[in-house]
Structure 1
Amino acid sequence: MKELIETIVKPLVDFPDDIHVDSVEEDQKITYKLSCNKSDMGKVIGKQGRVAKAIRTVVYAAGSSQQKKIFLEIVE
């Protein structure tokens, strides 16, 4: 799943080497934390959060086969 998130986000940003995805696994959920360069934050979030929503939609759909709920957080 980390590779999928990186594959989606890297073409959107100016500094693809600064993309980091960490995962926190709990009993019923997995949280992926996406961090990027501060200057790329707007590109990842998009106008009114549309890009972030689209990324989350793809990640949730890809993880629907797992037994755990998947969350994606965009952190600074």
Structure 2
Amino acid sequence: MQDYLKAPVAGVDVALVRVREERPLSQALAERLKVRHESPQAILVQRGRAVWHASHGAITARALREAISALR
């Protein structure tokens, strides 16, 4: 994730939720997006729906860029 944040895709908003400090928000997002919570986790949201998610070692800059490219 840190590698992605060094060179994010233009036009894509990024938000970071610190689960320990923002547990109610984390739980609300998991419920609303219908994605089981894991940590660390990346979720790509389009039009209010989770369209891609990954956790732990599957979160890479390349994976994020590929998921974003697939939506364009």
TM-score normalized with structure 2 length: 0.26
The structure richer in strand per residue is 1
The structure richer in helix per residue is 1
TM-score normalized with structure 1 length: 0.26
